[in-house]
Structure 1
Amino acid sequence: MDQLFTTVLVANRGEIACRVISTLHRLGITAVAVHSEADVDAAHVRMADRSVCLGPAAASASYLDVDAVIEAARTTGAEAIHPGYGFLSENASFARACEAAGVVFIGPGAQALEIMGDKIRAKEHVAAAGVPLVDGVSAPGLDDDALVEAAAGMTYPVLIKPSAGGGGKGMQVVERPEELAEALPAARRVAQAAFGDDSLMIEQLIRSPRHIEVQVLADSHGDVIHLGERECSLQRRHQKVIEEAPSPLLLDTEDGEQIRARLGEAACQAARSVDYRGAGTVEFLVSDEDPGTFFFMEMNTRLQVEHPVTEEITGVDLVEQQIRIAAGQPLALTQEDVRLTGHAVEARVYAEQPEAGFLPATGTVLRLHEPAGEGVRVDTGLRAGQAVGIDYDPMLAKVISHAPDRAQALSRLHRALGQTVILGVETNLAYLRGLLDDDDVRAGRLDTTLIARRLPDLALPRPDDDLLTAAALLVAQPRPVPGEGWACDGWRAAEQAVPSVLVTHAGADGHTLTTTVPLDGTASLDGPATPDGGPGTHLLTRHGRSRSVALARGDRSDAGVVVWAWADGVTARLTVADRTTQTLTALAQREAELTEAAPEVTAPLPGTVIAVAVTSGDTVRAGDPLVTIEAMKMEHRLLAPFDGTANLAVAAGEQVSLGQVLATVTKEE
């Protein structure tokens, strides 16, 4: 039998790099990490046996630099490179560069990467192998006019998809034929920016479908097997949010086992058609009303983000299988050996702001507690003190549950998310728990449009009086400063305490709310303390009862001191204004009342200007698009606040910072 490698380089970062390194260590293999200058102290770098800096923070100058990655493998003596997912994992040129350098690429061959990496070629290829396809336009080389003409006979709505992409980036739904020509340029811009290829295809949109994918393993000896399916229908903007295995659709269908076998065989046939090698995933659209009707979407020629749910129900370490296959070993499993045991669910934890349209969030992790216990797994690359910026994908971690049945798996995941504490950067934790509470989700009535339908009515929990009081006490009580005795926020030595402070937080409608919190001695804050072994760092005693809370002090601004607070699964970013801050704020508000606010359109987060819709001097109406910026793999259109004359302050291609003025609209006299 072929021997395993002695040293493997992991060409990725974050939770997936940590995940791969853990298996390498279990197999006794030396793990080499690569990193950018921004990730010099990242968790995956600390976890690896050796590390190499690739370059600056920008992925294009570090993690995507093929020559730098190959050189890192050469200098460290790595015999193989594991690409994780994203970055170079589906890059055929990188696979060829590895081969030319005498380094094993832990993934499929370059031909499979090229064919399946191009959605147009992939569909033509699998169709020849007998795999069913949905109707669409997928001829290569079509420009916008040709695509509009080719789609003339299609039934609307349709879906625009980048040919070279994945992860939902660049996909746009077009409801009517007259909207197609306008939607294509934006889709091309995203495709070019994300994948370096602006080729597009158009498919008939299937309303309310199930998104079900099948995990396959294929060795270099001709054996191909599948490890069952995953349900990935809970999506937002074509990006998966919660995944599970097996699919509840097949669990609730009388002939579910037969349908699973058919899906599995179609997936294996797609893999065989390109002489696939390694771990891969074949994605299907499945009719909710008729689960036996399904269509090939695409094949992901890498490890999937949601691979842990398959590992949990099969007991198969997919990273280990990738390594063994790449080392030339035959599969030790046959199809008959695969058994699905219990149910597993995964939730993706993102740095984002649900109340602000899910804009990516940035910050520094001030406090971190990850859940544990029976049936709970966390795949993460987070650590306390880590800065979360805009250079990389905003996914922070994955929380996975496994249980004998689906109901218990969902309950375990809900509790685990409630025990997850991330202070210092806003996340979607409360949003995930809200989804798990949904009646349709609990019942397994899923489709790819469910989140879009539920989102407007999804009420996220707000901070209660205990959290507001704990934050107020954290700021107001005296605290020692080395070399200076006592420092007081809102207190003065030998004087009566400030009777109240103002605490500001986000309201349910996205607007800010300010609450007056009395400091009348009826509440006290001790800590750090964890009386119940939970994630809290302080003990709040109020009205004769105690509660464990987690608190972290952030920066001070003109509005007050930022305090991050958590209790019972609810996280809040609060701003506490003491007496001095209140006085200064009141003066600033009075001054502002005397001056009309400047009609400036500013950047909601750092990014790149990818399009300008007007030129300086143009007349615009309220709501007209002015500038589009791209940040953290998302487009953000900024609109005119009112009727007037536009004056642009930026140009396409320009880098902008948070709060930078992009345009000004002057009202007509």
Structure 2
Amino acid sequence: MSPVTDTHTPPFTTVLVANRGEIARRVIRTLARLGVRSVAVYSDADADAPHVREADLAVRIGPAAASASYLDIDAVIAAARETGADAVHPGYGFLSENAEFARACAAAGIVFIGPGERALEVMGDKIRAKEHVSGHGVPTVPGFSAIGMSDAAIAEAAEATGYPLLVKPSAGGGGKGMQVVRSADDLAHALATARRVAAAAFGDDSLLLERLIERPRHIEVQVLADAHGGVIHLGERECTLQRRHQKVIEEAPSPVVDAATRARLGAAACAAAASVDYVGAGTVEFLVAGDRPDEFFFIEMNTRLQVEHPVTELVTGIDLVEQQLRVAAGEHLALAQADVRLDGHAIEARVYAESPERGFLPATGEVLVWDAAADVRTDAAVETGSTVTADYDPMIAKVVAHAADRAGALLRLDAALAETVLLGLDSNIGFLRALLADEDVQAGRMDTGLIDRMPPFAGAEPAAAALAAAAAFARQHDPHETASAAERLVADASSQRARAGDLWRMAEGWRIGGLRAGTVQRFLDDDGALHTAEGADPLHGATDATDAVVARDADGALWVHADGATHRLRPLTRREATAARLAARERDAAATDPELRAPMPGAVVALHVSDGTSVAAGDRIVTIEAMKMEHPVVAPHAGIVRLDVATGDQVRRDQVLAHVSSEEPDTRS
């Protein structure tokens, strides 16, 4: 379906987009279509980001840290004034649900493209929101606010409410700080962790405790409202597939919501929006009982555009950003509830820079090749040559497929993910394909714990096509030299956005094809496994080998995309391969390594023990925070701890954090 458009004059002259990445690019696209001048803002880390080049104007607002740039209200307002912006679109995250920012916009005579202050204040606090909507006929989950309560009082109230419980920060969202507590023994640790994360992420450590509904589905409803009392809903989205409370796959409509339940969900969502005089696009989130899909409970209302809004746009044909702009400009909604029709099925997969094989740890680095799939919608934060840092959220793209039915959308999304080329840093694309292939996902039998119950993800072994492509590339390029500028290769010339002086951005992608036979080539993957590519015809027996794409990183490793999978392979000489085999045997024979190393770059946010402490295997030693997530580092075996870092230290990947030496028995009599 084509988006619903309006023939009116543009709602604004100039709009500043107070965000970054794929959402900034998404908003800029609609602004361009409507003939509205766009203004981008950027931090030092984003000076060369795609959204900066795609906007009509761009203004630097600070250093890389979000707190000193994208969260700096004064800097954003100053940029809006400097460029003559008459409105600000906040995207999602950052300042999008910040009532103080909305007030600052109003004080500066700038339209905030979002709801009014009352909606932001009421719905921005989970405790207050729950109490508020329960008075307007919206069902809520049993629970209580922990504000002002001692830990002892919280424990008593928790017993009265009943375990299991979900502890979550009252402010903020995105699943940050949420802790599942199954017994009283786990409560103290969960409270401490939730408070620490909430204080760091939102500046507010207030907590809310709710009854944990086992095996629930997460269903949300998209609403649109204008300043004249008009409120409609655009159907529901299924957001049940989550990991660590972060959504991974979203779809519209839900496979378990029938027409009658959709009407009830929509009525409850509209009632929640109307109760705070909502204006703009918003989302009301519900938990739906796994065994009773007709029973639902209010979770929260997100007073902004959602990451997953494309699936609603694809099944309704409505451009939600345009609707936000028009109602913010004071126009009436151009649609009535009866005008909303759902066409087919849409599914979105979030592509993260992370390593599923290493426990989903965030990944950083340079994007050597980015080539999006054809015939689907891809909203991306990166392009070839982009750098992904640890300063922001690790989501770098969304791949969205639309088809006549759910089965067709699943097939199309999997094919699109297989076609998507991302070389230079780890991603979750392989995991997403495995998730889509899960028989329960295929059948629509889902709950929010499905991903947590899956076995640890193990990436596919390099296929013949991947090894053939790597061997062919290695024969043409010396694998032991640092990659030159011209050898950093781009996969698809049509997707390039070249700039003067960046020779490698203008290079054509290297793809395997028609090379003569060579000798045996050996490779080492990131798990330390050895692979051999025989040097007969590199195309022999390789499926679609000519579709393989190869790039070499600054360390000399080859990134290969072939047969719908990506691998990082380091070419080895015969001597290096022998040494690697011997090293693997020695590791297998050795005792557990006493050194605890950082699994990723980040900041030390907690030390759980002190020097000289005796610990057991599995005890927490250090917690590292990176990309808005905490990662505990635990003792590999029992022993005595010696710490090598302090709270607040910035550490790099594989840096030694602590030593755990085996305890020696006391032989003194």
1:269 counterpart SS class: helix
2:15 to 8, 12, 36: 8
After superposition, residues 35-184 of structure 1 pair within 5 angstroms as 35-138=42-145, 140-184=147-191
Measured after TM superposition, the shift of residue 650 of structure 1 is: 1.6
Using a 3 Å threshold, how does the CA distance of structure 1 residues 217 and 586 change in structure 2: closer, same or farther?
Answer: closer
The answer to whether the 8 A contact 2:605-2:647 is kept is yes
Specify the code of the residue in structure 2 equivalent to 1:378: T
CA distance in 2, matches of 1:210, 1:288: 6
Aligned match of 1:574: 569
Specify the code of the residue in structure 1 equivalent to 2:432: L
Measured after TM superposition, the shift of residue 500 of structure 1 is: 3.3
- The runs of at least 4 consecutive aligned structure 1 residues that moved more than 6 Å come to 479-482, 583-598
2:269 to 267, 270, 285: 267
The answer to whether the 8 A contact 1:503-1:575 is kept is yes
Aligned match of 1:467: 466
Aligned match of 2:621: 626
The answer to whether the 8 A contact 1:34-1:53 is kept is yes
CA distance in 2, matches of 1:569, 1:189: 40
After superposition, residues 231-250 of structure 1 pair within 5 angstroms as 231-250=238-257
CA distance in 2, matches of 1:437, 1:322: 36
1:573 counterpart SS class: strand
2:286 to 278, 284, 287: 284
2:212 to 198, 202, 205: 205
Measured after TM superposition, the shift of residue 45 of structure 1 is: 0.6
Specify the code of the residue in structure 1 equivalent to 2:278: Y
Specify the code of the residue in structure 1 equivalent to 2:402: H
Measured after TM superposition, the shift of residue 594 of structure 1 is: 13
The answer to whether the 8 A contact 1:476-1:578 is kept is no
The answer to whether the 8 A contact 2:558-2:570 is kept is yes
CA deviations on 1:102-142 (whole Å, 9 max, x unpaired) are 11110011221111110000011001111111111125333
Measured after TM superposition, the shift of residue 205 of structure 1 is: 0.7
CA distance in 2, matches of 1:98, 1:478: 55
CA distance in 2, matches of 1:581, 1:500: 14
1:601 to 585, 596, 600: 596
CA distance in 2, matches of 1:19, 1:146: 47
CA distance in 2, matches of 1:194, 1:476: 49
Moved more, 338-347 or 653-662: 653-662
Aligned match of 2:347: 345
Specify the code of the residue in structure 1 equivalent to 2:425: V
Aligned match of 1:503: 523
Specify the code of the residue in structure 1 equivalent to 2:635: A
Using a 3 Å threshold, how does the CA distance of structure 1 residues 543 and 364 change in structure 2: closer, same or farther?
Answer: closer
TM-score normalised per structure 1: 0.89
1:152 counterpart SS class: helix
Aligned match of 1:636: 631
1:409 counterpart SS class: helix
Measured after TM superposition, the shift of residue 654 of structure 1 is: 2.1
TM-score normalised per structure 2: 0.89
Measured after TM superposition, the shift of residue 517 of structure 1 is: 3.4
The answer to whether the 8 A contact 1:120-1:140 is kept is no
1:291 counterpart SS class: strand
The answer to whether the 8 A contact 1:137-1:147 is kept is no
Aligned match of 1:530: none
Using a 3 Å threshold, how does the CA distance of structure 1 residues 590 and 300 change in structure 2: closer, same or farther?
Answer: closer
Measured after TM superposition, the shift of residue 462 of structure 1 is: 2.1
2:531 to 491, 511, 515: 515
CA distance in 2, matches of 1:455, 1:504: 25
Using a 3 Å threshold, how does the CA distance of structure 1 residues 664 and 288 change in structure 2: closer, same or farther?
Answer: closer
Aligned match of 1:333: 335
The answer to whether the 8 A contact 1:434-1:459 is kept is no
Aligned match of 2:435: 435
Using a 3 Å threshold, how does the CA distance of structure 1 residues 75 and 464 change in structure 2: closer, same or farther?
Answer: same
CA deviations on 1:612-650 (whole Å, 9 max, x unpaired) are 011112222332211111111111111223333211122
The answer to whether the 8 A contact 1:169-1:190 is kept is yes
Specify the code of the residue in structure 2 equivalent to 1:572: H
Moved more, 589-598 or 146-155: 589-598
Aligned match of 2:550: 551
The answer to whether structure 1 residue 389 and structure 2 residue 389 are counterparts is yes
The answer to whether the 8 A contact 2:119-2:276 is kept is yes
CA distance in 2, matches of 1:297, 1:126: 10
Measured after TM superposition, the shift of residue 289 of structure 1 is: 2.5
CA distance in 2, matches of 1:274, 1:544: 57
The percent identity for this pair of structures is 60
After superposition, residues 251-262 of structure 1 pair within 5 angstroms as 256-262=258-264
Measured after TM superposition, the shift of residue 546 of structure 1 is: 5.0
Aligned match of 1:300: 302
Specify the code of the residue in structure 1 equivalent to 2:328: A
CA distance in 1, matches of 2:294, 2:77: 45
CA distance in 1, matches of 2:273, 2:590: 66
Measured after TM superposition, the shift of residue 668 of structure 1 is: 3.5
After superposition, residues 179-190 of structure 1 pair within 5 angstroms as 179-190=186-197
Output the aligned Cα RMSD: 2.6
Using a 3 Å threshold, how does the CA distance of structure 1 residues 352 and 337 change in structure 2: closer, same or farther?
Answer: same
